[in-house]
Homo-oligomer: A and B are copies of this chain.
Amino acid sequence: MQIGFIGLGHMGGPMAANLLKAGHALTVFDLSEAALDEAKTAGATLASSPRAVAETSEVVITMLPAAAHVKAVYLNDDGVLAGVRPGVPLIDSSTIDPATARMIGETARARGNPFADAPVSGGVVGAQAGTLTFMVGADEALFETLKPVLAGMGKNMVRCGETGTGQIAKICNNLLLAISMIGVAEAMKLGEVLGIDPNKLASIVNTSTGRCWSSDTCNPYPNILPNAPASRGYAGGFGADLMLKDLGLAVDAARQAKQPVFMGALAQQLYQSMSQQGLGSLDFSGIIKLYGAK
């Protein structure tokens, strides 16, 4: 298939590489010369603008840092919508606010192009391994059409509902994730200072009502789980600054919807404080350092 791919960063780069490996033909665009060089070496055709990418593609995929970039890439004069042929489906895998996703979707549909928001989980590791999970906002028919394309980059594709629901699913999940990670950090640190063996506490929690992904798969206390970031100085994993970005999207969306999120707002401030202390590039489980952990 002839695929257009825009945004070749830490995530987009390996995703595009996997599509090439899967046998697709790729036309790509990015602002970074280095990223373009790498893609060319891997077999991609370079284009001079998002519009140029779109003109020759049977499907267009975007993977961008934030809503402002997505708006520009789709809506500018040299953007995707200015060049894409009617009927060509568009996929945005960036993590952005649901309202912008819906707006782009409506604009695209008005021009005859189906649009899906399809943010991912799995991080850079999953992007490289081709094991990402896609949370897809699209109607049934579009979802079925896109599945084979997404299969070149990931293992799981979940249809969340109509346009925008992919973003909603992602930010709601990450809101909960941020909160439960801090909950685990507080519980583990409290247990330690009160005098229970942290390994014992983790094993009890993990078979009890406190169990969660943050306790049984990514425990923030060092040396509970050998493969967790906490056991290698919080290197790798899901960076605190990225979690902070997602929390910002969740808390902002809540505000737009006039919905209080007490814990989410506190989590955001705690990650902001972690970032202010220069720890924003650590895995987000490093939040335990705010509680006096070494």
A interface list, Cβ under 8 A from B: 98, 121, 133, 135, 158, 160-161, 164-165, 168-169, 171-177, 179-180, 182-184, 186-191, 193-197, 200-201, 204-205, 207-215, 217-218, 248, 250, 253-255, 257-270, 272-273, 275-277, 290-292
A190-B272 contact in complex given A179-B180, A200-B165, A208-B173, C-beta closer than 8 Å: no
- Please state if B187 and A183 are interface contacts (CB–CB under 8 Å): no
**Which of A121, A182, A190 gathers most chain B CB within 10 Å?**
A190
Q: Which residues from chain B contact A218 at a C-beta distance below 8 Å? A: 209
- Show 13 residue pairs from A and B whose CB-CB distance is below 8 angstroms, ordered by the A residue: A121-B208, A164-B194, A172-B196, A172-B205, A173-B205, A179-B180, A190-B253, A193-B259, A209-B217, A210-B212, A248-B255, A258-B276, A260-B273
Q: What 6 pairs across the A-B complex have the smallest Cβ distances?
A: A212-B212, A179-B183, A176-B210, A176-B187, A173-B210, A260-B272
Interface of A is mostly: helix
- Please state if B169 and A191 are interface contacts (CB–CB under 8 Å): yes
